[in-house]
């Protein structure tokens, strides 16, 4: 490119130089012509002066004539030389030059002749003069002609020089433009082929470095060095990507629960600490939800581990679908879940989330087993640690469970007092048996038609020395959770049989058994021993168990085996609180009960609630078809009794028949009857 530009420059320079040279030569020739003109004028004057002198008779020395001859010869020679000059010949046609030379020669000859005439015969001057003047005029005309030509040639040369100059400038400009265009195109090409791909590669690499791009490196298909570079980068990216994936996976595994994909305890605790720190600055309130599935062990026993896992996954999905994007759902372990919810308007946000969770959980599902859960919530207060907050949520959860499960409780001061009360009761229960604080009340069970009492249910009473009567609904769950129910249960068995031993031998004795009592192997032996000791026939015994204790509970097979054994010994097995557990009707297939007790909640509402009355009617019908005895409990009114009689129920229990009372002997029993 530079060479082309240089060549163009040199060529233009050369042309300009040539044109200048030509003009210079022409100007030189013109100068020569001028000088010869002067010489010629001088010669003419000198010839004129000398011839005039000679004509007037003035003696002109020979030497002056000789000098004049000499000058004429010189003039002639210079004129001929000027005509011979190469530039002169170039510029003028040979005709003009010849004419000029001839005119010089004629002029020289005429001058020489006039001088000789003047020197030798001055009288002949008059005759010779016209010839001289004619030659002079011819010479001047020829010279004038030559000058015109030279002037014209200079004009033409200057004009041509200007034209050439313009053309050269245009060609230089065009050449320059061409070069600029070539440079520009090359720049575009370079940009497209090299710079742009490299820039994109660098950009992709930067995006990738900060983890923002998963687009491919451009130019992978190129066969050149840039293609090699792109492929190299691609390989590098793949290696880094797989390392990152492994890191992410390791991090995920460390912070998440594998089964459900939810956050695990570690992530939960870290996030909780973070949110509490942040809320101290923002003034937000952090709510911790402690969530436990109800009867998960029973579900696991019933459906096996795979079924249990499915329920856990469904629960995880359900909770995740209820919360907002910035809330955190975690699986803390087993069937324990937790949620962190940060909001400004509490407890409104908490209440909304609770109702959403229960609404979703109660929505019909194809999966069969309904998800029931208990929820405890605690709201943060300034200066609280994550552990403290979680503990309070657990406390509220405990309350929700104690209040019948499948419900939620939000922690408050009152709950705290209740918890202290619970702790106190748990402590005091330990001495209740030895301190003789328990009593048994017996509630009659009657035939629905004759209303004749067919037996009694033993119901435990605890009179606390300071707090007074504590309802069994309060202290039994505490005794169950502390394990004391075994000791208390033994006390109940022994004392109930002791009392029953005093009754009419036709009267049955119903004893409530807690699921925990089935966990110790000695239950059958204990019952048999006690019955033998008090001489109560085993077939008078009715053992009341709830569905969760039997069919859904812990060690289900063992429980069913124990019940089977007790049944073989002659005791009747009664399903208590029928209708409140899980899929009650289908459970009846799993174990042959002798009796079913319809829960008092259905009886209480069957009058004005169509679904309650349907359940009662259906249960009676089912019991009949299976040959079971159906008992309705909680019968308080004549109307209820009437309906139960109409529907064919077998037995009734409730305040209408008799309230639980402390009976101690046959006499008492008879008095009641």
Candidates 354, 460, 559, 641: give the one binding ligand C2E (CB under 6 A): 460
Candidates 443, 501, 508, 651: give the one binding ligand C2E (CB under 6 A): 443
Phi, psi torsion values for 371, nearest 5 degrees: -90, 120
Nearer to Ca ion, 284 or 577 (CB): 577
Contact partner at residue 193 from Ca ion, ligand C2E, none, CB < 5 to 8 Å by partner kind: none
Residues 488-517 that bind Ca ion (CB under 5 A): 512
How many C-beta neighbours within 10 Å does residue 374 have?
Answer: 23
Candidates 176, 465, 471, 621: give the one binding ligand C2E (CB under 6 A): 471
> CB–CB of 364/396 below 8 Å?
no
Percentages (nearest 5) of helix, strand, coil residues in the chain: 65, 15, 20
> CB–CB of 111/72 below 8 Å?
yes
- Cα–Cα distances (Å) from 408 to 210, 282, 324, 341, 376, in that order, read 44, 28, 19, 15, 6
DSSP state of 106: H
Candidates 588, 634, 644, 663: give the one binding ligand C2E (CB under 6 A): 634
Q: How far is the CB of 542 from ligand C2E (least distance, A)?
A: 11
User: Alpha-carbon distance 445 to 449, whole Å?
Assistant: 12
Contact partner at residue 642 from Ca ion, ligand C2E, none, CB < 5 to 8 Å by partner kind: none
Nearer to ligand C2E, 104 or 500 (CB): 500
Residues 536-595 that bind Ca ion (CB under 5 A): 544, 576-577
Residue closest to 293 by CA, chosen among 218, 375, 216:
375
Q: Which token pair is 208?
A: 């990738």
User: Alpha-carbon distance 457 to 509, whole Å?
Assistant: 6
Q: How far is the CB of 493 from Ca ion (least distance, A)?
A: 14
Residues 527-546 that bind ligand C2E (CB under 6 A): 544
**Beta strand 453-464 pairing with 508-512:** parallel
Q: How far is the CB of 380 from ligand C2E (least distance, A)?
A: 36
DSSP state of 124: G
Residue 636 within binding range of ligand C2E, rule CB under 6 A: yes
Q: How far is the CB of 427 from Ca ion (least distance, A)?
A: 27
- Tokens 């998440």 belong to 256
User: Alpha-carbon distance 460 to 514, whole Å?
Assistant: 12
Residue closest to 290 by CA, chosen among 350, 343, 359:
350
Residue 660 within binding range of ligand C2E, rule CB under 6 A: yes
551-585 residues labelled b (16+ CB within 10 A) or e (exposed): bbbbebeebbebbeebbeeebbbbbbbbbbbbebe
- Tokens 């097979």 belong to 557
Q: How far is the CB of 438 from ligand C2E (least distance, A)?
A: 9
User: Alpha-carbon distance 419 to 79, whole Å?
Assistant: 145
Q: Which residue is nearest to Ca ion (CB)?
A: 544
Residue 472 within binding range of ligand C2E, rule CB under 6 A: yes
Candidates 314, 600, 617, 624: give the one binding ligand C2E (CB under 6 A): 600
Residues 214-253 that bind ligand C2E (CB under 6 A): none
Nearer to ligand C2E, 455 or 634 (CB): 634
Nearer to ligand C2E, 146 or 545 (CB): 545
Residue 406 within binding range of ligand C2E, rule CB under 6 A: no
Contact partner at residue 54 from ligand C2E, Ca ion, none, CB < 5 to 8 Å by partner kind: none
Residue closest to 634 by CA, chosen among 613, 658, 615:
658
Q: How many residues of this chain interact with ligand C2E, rule: CB under 6 A?
A: 24
DSSP state of 658: -
Residue 309 within binding range of ligand C2E, rule CB under 6 A: no
Candidates 576, 643, 644, 649: give the one binding ligand C2E (CB under 6 A): 576
116: helix, strand or coil: helix
Q: How far is the CB of 602 from Ca ion (least distance, A)?
A: 11
Nearer to Ca ion, 298 or 459 (CB): 459
Nearer to Ca ion, 301 or 577 (CB): 577
Beta strands in 364-452 (DSSP E): 373-379, 408-410, 438-447
Q: Which residue is nearest to ligand C2E (CB)?
A: 654
Residue 149 within binding range of Ca ion, rule CB under 5 A: no
Q: How far is the CB of 496 from ligand C2E (least distance, A)?
A: 8
Residue 444 within binding range of ligand C2E, rule CB under 6 A: no
- Cα–Cα distances (Å) from 362 to 330, 336, 371, 594, in that order, read 21, 19, 7, 32
Nearer to ligand C2E, 651 or 653 (CB): 653
Q: Is the peptide bond before 347 cis (omega within 30 degrees of 0)?
A: yes
Residue 459 within binding range of ligand C2E, rule CB under 6 A: yes
Nearer to ligand C2E, 263 or 458 (CB): 458
Phi, psi torsion values for 330, nearest 5 degrees: -130, 150
Nearer to ligand C2E, 157 or 492 (CB): 492
Q: How far is the CB of 450 from Ca ion (least distance, A)?
A: 22
Helix 472-482 and helix 413-432: axis angle, to 10°? 70
Binding site for ligand C2E (CB under 6 A): 443, 458-460, 471-473, 476, 492, 512-514, 544, 576-577, 600, 633-636, 653-655, 660
Binding site for Ca ion (CB under 5 A): 512, 544, 576-577
């Amino acid at each position: 490119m530079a060479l082309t530009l240089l060549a163009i420059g040199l060529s233009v320079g050369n042309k300009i130089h040539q044109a200048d040279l030509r003009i210079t030569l022409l100007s030189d020739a013109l100068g020569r012509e001028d000088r010869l003109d002067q010489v010629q004028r001088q010669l003419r004057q000198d010839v004129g002066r000398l011839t005039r002198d000679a004509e007037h008779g003035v003696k002109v020395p020979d030497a002056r004539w000789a000098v004049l001859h000499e000058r004429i010869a010189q003039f002639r020679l210079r004129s001929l030389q000027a005509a011979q000059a190469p530039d002169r010949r170039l510029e003028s046609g040979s005709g003009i030059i010849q004419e000029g030379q001839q005119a010089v020669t004629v002029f020289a000859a005429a001058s020489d002749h006039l001088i000789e005439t003047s020197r030798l015969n001055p009288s002949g001057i008059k005759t010779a003069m016209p010839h001289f003047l004619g030659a002079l005029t011819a010479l001047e005309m020829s010279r004038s002609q030559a000058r015109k030509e030279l002037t014209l040639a200079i004009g033409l040369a200057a004009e041509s020089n200007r034209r050439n100059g313009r053309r050269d400038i245009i060609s230089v400009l065009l050449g320059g433009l061409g070069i600029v265009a070539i440079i520009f195109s090359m720049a575009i090409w370079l940009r497209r082929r090299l710079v742009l791909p490299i820039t994109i590669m660098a950009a992709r690499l930067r995006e990738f470095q900060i983890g923002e791009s998963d687009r491919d490196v451009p130019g992978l298909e190129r066969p050149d060095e840039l293609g090699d570079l792109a492929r190299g980068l691609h390989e590098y990216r793949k290696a880094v990507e797989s390392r990152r994936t492994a890191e992410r996976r390791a991090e995920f595994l460390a912070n998440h629960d594998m089964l459900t994909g939810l956050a695990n305890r570690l992530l939960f605790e870290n996030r909780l600490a973070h949110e509490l720190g942040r809320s101290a600055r923002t003034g937000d309130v952090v709510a911790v939800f402690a969530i436990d599935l109800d009867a998960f062990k029973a579900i696991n026993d019933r459906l096996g581990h795979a079924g249990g896992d499915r329920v856990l996954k469904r629960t995880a999905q359900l909770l995740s679908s209820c919360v907002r994007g910035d809330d955190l759902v975690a699986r803390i372990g087993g069937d324990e879940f937790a949620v962190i919810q940060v909001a400004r308007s509490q407890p409104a946000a908490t209440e909304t989330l609770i109702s959403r969770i229960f609404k979703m959980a109660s929505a019909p599902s194809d999966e069969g087993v309904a998800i029931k859960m208990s929820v405890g919530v605690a709201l943060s207060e300034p200066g609280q640690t994550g552990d403290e907050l979680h503990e309070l949520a657990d406390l509220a959860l405990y309350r929700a469970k104690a209040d019948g499960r499948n419900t939620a409780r939000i922690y408050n001061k009152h709950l705290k007092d209740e918890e202290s009360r619970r702790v106190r009761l748990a402590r005091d229960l330990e001495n209740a048996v030895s301190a003789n604080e328990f009593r048994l009340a017996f509630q009659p069970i009657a035939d629905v038609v004759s209303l004749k009492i067919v037996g009694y249910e033993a119901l435990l009473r605890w009179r606390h020395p300071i707090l007074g009567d504590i309802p069994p609904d309060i202290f039994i769950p505490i005794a169950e959770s502390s394990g004391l129910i075994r000791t208390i249960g033994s006390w109940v068995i022994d004392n109930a049989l002791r009392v029953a031993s005093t009754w009419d031998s036709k009267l049955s004795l119903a004893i409530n058994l807690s699921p925990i009592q089935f966990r110790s192997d000695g239950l059958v032996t204990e019952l048999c021993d006690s019955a033998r000791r008090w001489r109560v026939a085993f077939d008078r015994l009715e053992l009341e168990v709830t569905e969760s204790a039997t069919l859904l509970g812990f060690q289900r097979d063992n429980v069913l085996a124990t019940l089977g054994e007790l049944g073989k010994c002659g005791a009747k097995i009664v399903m208590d609180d029928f209708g409140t557990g899980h899929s009650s009707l289908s459970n009846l297939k799993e174990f042959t009960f002798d009796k079913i007790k319809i829960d008092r909640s259905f009886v209480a509402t069957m009058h004005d609630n169509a679904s309650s009355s349907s359940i009662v009617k259906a249960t009676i019908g089912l019991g009949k078809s299976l040959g079971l005895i159906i008992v309705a409990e909680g019968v308080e009114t004549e109307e209820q009794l009437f309906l139960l009689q109409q529907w064919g129920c077998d037995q009734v229990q409730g305040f209408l028949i008799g309230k639980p009372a402390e009976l101690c002997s046959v006499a008492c029993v008879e008095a009641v009857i």
